Amino acid sequence: MDELNWKILACLQVNARESFSSIGRKVGLTSPAVKERVAKMQDAGIIQDFKTVVSHTHLGFQLRAIITLRAFVGKLKPFLEHVKNFDEVLNCYRITGNENIIMEVVLQNQSHLEKFIDTLITYGETRTHIILSNVISNAQVKKVNK
Amino acid sequence: MDELNWKILACLQVNARESFSSIGRKVGLTSPAVKERVAKMQDAGIIQDFKTVVSHTHLGFQLRAIITLRAFVGKLKPFLEHVKNFDEVLNCYRITGNENIIMEVVLQNQSHLEKFIDTLITYGETRTHIILSNVISNAQVKKVNK
DNA sequence: GATGAAACGTTGTGGTT
DNA sequence: AACCACAACGTTTCATC
């Protein structure tokens, strides 16, 4: 991860569809060189994915929420298997602390939220926080001085 | 948002760098037609961004955490202004409930976390949950039956 | 939306340091 | 090992229908 790779990453984090030749012009490389560096960053696991960010609001999901789950004894494993089938869950992490699980979910409306929580309470105790607004969304990763 | 747009979105959510002609072949359109549909979805705000997902672990951030903040009286506004300058914060939402703010942060190590929490406690009361593992990451948005 | 043509980008080979 | 140059091929981007 030299300076050039950080510059390439900065470009791709802003716009994952930027062409390698356009990036090459900005960083002072030819497009085959950029292509090779990107491929190596993918192989190394530094670049995980190129994803399109969509607006859930525009697609019929009027509510977003953060839900924590404190799983009942013996219910964590079944939850971890079934959660992958819940289309509402955008992100789900195992965490330390009083709760085992934290999820970011999207829902069509209040009754959808109600039904979803009804599903969850079979696995554990939940706490729900409605998301009011985004302050920061998917911030870019910058080089850090070690 | 007809069936074709949903198919195009499905392609782009899997790989934001897929070419319009490749998508066109899959969905049965020419590349100019795909290009125009994508442009319209961007203009409408349905497509927000094409982003590269990077591995924070590979880039020197060994710790991830969820931190909630219950801001002191008069401290929420200053926090909302300053949080944009905190490179550690990937996502930050205003939420309902006992806490005002929830953040997803990346940190180099424990002492980095300690310093970051020291910064936060000038704005309010914090609760920190270390992320142990990902269960679901940036799930794809699918069509929902209204 | 399709078509077709020009500009542009990608990708492989071979060569340089 | 990393990069450049070049050429063949694919893609994007117009115009026009």
Residue nearest to nucleotide C12 (CA to C1'): A32
Q: Is B45 left (phi over 0), alpha (psi -120 to 50) or beta?
A: left
Please tell me which residue, B113 or B145, carries the higher pLDDT value.
B113
pLDDT of B59 reads: 96
Q: Which residue from B9, B53, B90 is facing A49, i.e. has the nearest CB?
A: B53
Predicted TM-score (pTM) of this structure: 0.94
Helix (H) or strand (E) holding A103: strand A101-107
Say how many Å lie between the first and final Cα of chain A, rounded. Answer: 13
Angstroms from B59 CA to nearest CA on chain A: 7
CB contact under 8 A, B131 and A106: no
Give the C-alpha separation, A55 to B47, whole Å: 6
What pairing do the DSSP bridges indicate for beta strands A101-107 and A63-71? Answer: antiparallel
Per the structure, the residue whose CA is closest to nucleotide C3 at C1' is B30
B33 CB neighbours strand D below 7 A = no
Which member of A58, A91, A146 has the closest CB to residue B46?
A: A58
Q: Any residues with CB less than 8 A from the CB of A85 and at least 6 apart, and which? A: none
Note which residues in 73-132 of chain B have CB less than 8 A from chain A.
80, 83-84, 87, 89-97, 99, 101-103, 106, 108, 127-132
In chain B, where do the E strands start and end? 47-54, 63-71, 89-95, 101-107, 124-136
Residues from chain B that touch A23, judged by Cβ atoms under 8 A, are none
pLDDT class of A124 with cuts at 50, 70, 90: very high
Q: Å between A52 CA and D16 C1'? A: 32
Chain B neighbours among A 20-39 (CB < 8 Å)?
A: none
For the segment A10-29, what is each residue's pLDDT rounded down to a tens digit? 999 999 999 999 999 999 99
Q: Which residue is nearest to nucleotide D10 (CA to C1')?
A: B21
Q: What is the pLDDT of residues B69-79, one digit of tens each?
A: 999 999 999 99
- Report chain A residues whose CB lies below 8 A from the CB of B138: 49, 51, 90-91
Average pLDDT over residues B8-18: 98
φ and ψ of A67, to 5 deg: -125, 130
pLDDT of residue B144: 80
